[in-house]
């Protein structure tokens, strides 16, 4: 594809309800900042499911135009369908940059779109700054032990996936900025995956759930004491419907795999609740949880730096506290007693 001179196109995923996903809203924050930094137009594309209208939830988030792709029929839109929908919007908008969230499904679609555009792709982007026509990019590398920085001069198009939790969510802007133009793009029925039938959907266990997909993260550091101690964290995460994370110290000591690391050299996260057990609070770790909703920190040291950013600070022995929490919490999905204490 020849060099494009358009603006920024943000590809928004929607959930079963038709509403934009949390990670897509975060990605819009990065897309809006990039468009403003470059002085370019921001456009959004999304797939409308059945009779839903996803664009009202996207209005006021800095976009001048929203491409609403509507497929014929009520068939579920799979990866191939998402690729075709995005490609329709790319052809209409002719953007300089196409941004996706860094979810598993979006990464596949992003790679396909980059191939069709004949351009480069940067996955898991957690740094994005535009200045004087040059965009500085950054992403974690070397299993979280390094950070790669790149520059993009807009000489050719670029596809990006934006790391979850790395950017602030795109808050609605003032009504004075106007209502975006909605462009409906009609498409034929999305292609069905050959020979594939979905029988059921199974929620991932705490051991395999992605850090960026969890509403609750139960994180451990040096104070956990070893790999065995993380077994308690897994059990607590299961009770809370979340997953387990770790500090760099815990990963370096081999207690948890690098995919579980939170921080500058790991993953930036934005769960609704972040529980930190035995984590002192090094600056690189704090940087990775800046977008968390509420932070609960448990540490034996009352002077632990993490207490400075915690919404609730608990000075206690985690090996005594966690079993007590597990005992008091109801099983996942169970209803608590009506008069429970």
* Per-residue model confidence as pLDDT tens digits over 307-317: 999 999 999 99
Instruction: Note whether residue 243 is domain-resident.
Output: yes
Same domain? For 253 and 323 the reply is: yes
- Taking only the tens place, the pLDDT of each residue in 68-125 is 888 776 555 566 778 888 999 999 999 999 999 988 788 899 999 999 999 999 998 9
How many domains are contained in the chain? 2
pLDDT of residue 173: 59
pLDDT of the residue at 78:
62
Give the pLDDT confidence score for residue 18 in this predicted structure: 66
Asked if 154 and 48 sit in the same domain, the reply is yes
Look up the CATH number of the domain holding residue 98. 3.40.50.620
Domain extent at residue 225: 211-328
Predicted confidence at residue 339, as pLDDT, reads 38
Same domain, 42 and 151: yes
In this predicted structure, what is the pLDDT of residue 282? 93
Question: Do 157 and 223 fall into the same domain?
Answer: no
Q: Is residue 228 part of a domain?
A: yes
The two counts, helices (H) then strands (E), for the chain are: 7, 14
Predicted local distance difference test score (pLDDT) of residue 334: 45
Question: Would you give the distance in Å from CA 57 to the centre of its chain?
Answer: 18
pLDDT attached to residue 163:
86
Q: In this structure, what token pair is assigned to residue 221? A: 């550091």
Q: What is the CATH number of the domain that holds 265?
A: 3.40.50.1220
Measure Cα distances from 299 to 226, 316, 322 in Å. 15, 6, 12
What span, in angstroms and rounded, lies between the C-alpha atoms of 22 and 18?
A: 12
- Torsion angle, alpha carbons of 287, 293, 296, 302, to 10: 50
| pLDDT tens-digit map of 209-263 | 888 778 899 999 999 999 989 999 999 999 998 999 999 999 999 999 998 999 9
Give the mean pLDDT of 170-183: 66
Same domain (yes/no): 270, 173: no
| Beta carbons of 56 and 94 less than 8 angstroms apart | no
- The answer to whether the CB of 128 falls within 8 A of the CB of 34 is yes
For residue 154, is it within any domain? yes
The pLDDT of residue 143? 65
What is the tens place of the pLDDT at every residue in 116-175? 999 999 998 988 998 888 999 998 877 667 788 999 988 899 999 998 777 776 666 554
157 located within any domain: yes
Clarify whether residues 218 and 162 are in a common domain. no
- Does one domain contain both 143 and 227? no
167 and 252 inside one domain: no
Domain termination site, one of 172, 187, 202: 187
Q: Measure the CA–CA gap between 224 and 255, rounded to whole angstroms.
A: 10
In a domain, 336, yes or no: no
Q: Tell me the mean pLDDT in the region 281-307.
A: 92
β-strand partners of 149: 138
Is residue 167 included in any domain, yes or no?
Answer: yes
Same-domain check for residues 67 and 26: yes
At 74 the pLDDT is 53
Mean pLDDT for 320-338 is: 73
């Amino acid at each position: 594809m020849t060099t494009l001179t358009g603006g920024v196109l943000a590809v928004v995923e929607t959930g079963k309800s038709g509403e934009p996903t949390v990670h897509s809203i975060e990605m819009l924050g990065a897309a809006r900042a990039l468009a403003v930094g470059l002085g370019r137009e921001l456009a959004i594309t999304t797939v409308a499911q059945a009779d839903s209208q996803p664009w009202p939830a996207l209005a006021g988030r800095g976009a001048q135009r929203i491409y609403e792709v509507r497929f014929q029929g009520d068939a579920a839109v799979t990866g191939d369908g998402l690729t075709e929908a995005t490609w329709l919007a790319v052809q209409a908008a002719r953007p300089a940059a196409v941004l996706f969230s860094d979810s598993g499904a979006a990464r596949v679609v992003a790679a396909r779109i980059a191939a069709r555009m004949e351009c480069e792709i940067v996955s898991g982007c957690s740094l994005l700054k535009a200045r004087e026509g040059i965009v500085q990019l950054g992403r974690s590398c070397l299993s979280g032990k390094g950070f790669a920085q790149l520059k993009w001069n807009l000489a050719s198009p670029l596809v990006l996936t934006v790391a979850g939790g790395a950017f602030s969510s795109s808050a609605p802007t003032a009504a004075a900025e106007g209502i975006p133009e909605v462009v409906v793009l009609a498409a034929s029925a999305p292609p069905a995956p050959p020979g594939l039938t979905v029988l059921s959907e199974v929620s991932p266990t705490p051991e395999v759930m992605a850090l960026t997909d969890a509403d609750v993260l139960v994180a451990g550091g040096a104070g956990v004491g070893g790999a065995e101690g993380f077994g308690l964290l897994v059990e607590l995460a299961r009770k809370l419907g979340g997953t387990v994370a770790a500090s760099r110290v815990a990963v370096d000591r081999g207690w948890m795999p690098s995919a579980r690391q939170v921080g500058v050299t790991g993953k930036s996260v934005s769960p609704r609740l972040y529980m930190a057990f035995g984590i002192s609070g090094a600056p690189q770790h704090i940087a990775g949880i800046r977008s968390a909703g509420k932070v609960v920190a448990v540490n034996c040291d009352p002077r632990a730096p993490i207490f400075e950013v915690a919404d609730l600070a608990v000075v206690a022995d985690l090996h005594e506290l966690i079993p007590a929490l597990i005992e008091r919490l109801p099983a996942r999905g169970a209803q608590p007693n009506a008069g429970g204490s």
